[in-house]
Amino acid sequence: MMDPAFCTASGVLGAILGSFLGVVVERLPRWMREEEGAGNLLYPPSHCPACQHRLRWWENIPLVSWLMLRGRCCRCRSAIPLRVLMVELLSALFFALSAWLILDLPVLLALWLLWCGLLPLAMIDLRERLLPDCLTQPLLWAGLLLNLHTHLLPLADALYGAVAGYLALWLVYQGHRLVTGREGLGYGDFKLLAALGAWCGWQALPSILLLAALGGILGWAICFRHQENDNVIPFGPFLAFAGLIIFILQHAIFTF
């Protein structure tokens, strides 16, 4: 079991990074659509989207501020989206829990990096049906570099993982289009699976796909069944979740 102080510090780090990831989720799609005033990731400073009130430092503390303000802007009282709290809370819990359970520090750091890539991808795909290249591609390169500089996987496995990950979903896409005449997956999905192949190796791809498909079916049954556009369920969140689970199972040495 890791030191409680280390777990707490990890949780705080998770909340801070989660807060930044939340900004990425809010701004990156707008920035990609070149919306007016979308700015970049650092500018303009955090503000209320309803009244443009610029947040003071104490309104911008991860978790604490949302709870203190009870989820409302302190000037115009418009609701701050719950997802702002969720992304901070999820990251804090994930960092604290993984710091508590996982003994191997390099694996822990790699896992946190993977989280910082996958969480915004999953959330942007949920909201916008989009997996931006500017997130999937660095994630792929990071996976290859990780396996170049550590002994988690042989580099060849990671390289073939990236290629096979892309090809596997590309083939599914082409097959699906041939049979149904519709597009079932997006190119972002291929790139995300390529990135997961680079992180987890080609051997892990069947498990990732199986887990993601099971999650997808379950998610569809629970959430998306009643939506009219049910043929465009985002697959990215399920791929991201599956990749994270498989990476943990592959490499983590647990406390217990």
Q: How far is the CB of 247 from Zn ion (least distance, A)?
A: 39
Which of 48, 80, 196, 209 binds Zn ion (CB under 5 A)? It is: 48
Is the CB of residue 205 less than 8 Å from the CB of residue 193? Answer: yes
**Pairwise CA distance, residues 61 & 68, whole Å:** 10
Instruction: Tell me which stretch binds Zn ion (CB under 5 A): 47-55, 112-120, 128-136, 204-212.
Output: 47-55
Residue 195 near Zn ion by CB under 5 A: no
| Nearer residue to Zn ion within complex by CB, 37 or 181 | 37
Which of 50, 134, 163, 223 binds Zn ion (CB under 5 A)? It is: 50
Which of 41, 51, 105, 223 binds Zn ion (CB under 5 A)? It is: 51
Q: How far is the CB of 70 from Zn ion (least distance, A)?
A: 14
| Nearer residue to Zn ion within complex by CB, 46 or 250 | 46
Q: Which residue has the tokens 């051997």?
A: 203
**Pairwise CA distance, residues 82 & 45, whole Å:** 20
Q: Which 3 state secondary structure label does DSSP give 129?
A: coil
| Nearer residue to Zn ion within complex by CB, 74 or 232 | 74
Site for Zn ion in 148-187 (CB under 5 A): none
Q: Which 3 state secondary structure label does DSSP give 62?
A: coil
Helices (runs of H) and strands (runs of E) counted in the chain: 9, 0
Q: How far is the CB of 188 from Zn ion (least distance, A)?
A: 33
Residue 80 near Zn ion by CB under 5 A: no
- Span between the terminal Cα atoms of the chain, in Å: 8
**Pairwise CA distance, residues 28 & 124, whole Å:** 9
Instruction: Tell me which stretch binds Zn ion (CB under 5 A): 53-61, 84-92, 180-188, 220-228.
Output: 53-61
Which of 24, 73, 159, 204 binds Zn ion (CB under 5 A)? It is: 73
Q: CA nearest 19: which of 116, 136, 124?
A: 116
- Residue 138 carries which DSSP code? H
Q: Which residue has the tokens 């989660």?
A: 18
Residue 79 near Zn ion by CB under 5 A: no
Q: Which 3 state secondary structure label does DSSP give 79?
A: strand
| Nearer residue to Zn ion within complex by CB, 75 or 176 | 75
Instruction: Tell me which stretch binds Zn ion (CB under 5 A): 48-56, 95-103, 106-114, 248-256.
Output: 48-56
Is the CB of residue 132 less than 8 Å from the CB of residue 29? Answer: yes
Residue 68 near Zn ion by CB under 5 A: no
Question: DSSP for 83-117?
Answer: HHHHHHHHHHHHHHHHHHHB--HHHHHHHHHHHHH
| Nearer residue to Zn ion within complex by CB, 76 or 134 | 76
Residue 55 near Zn ion by CB under 5 A: no
Q: How far is the CB of 53 from Zn ion (least distance, A)?
A: 5
Site of interaction with Zn ion (CB under 5 A):
48, 50-51, 53, 73, 75-76
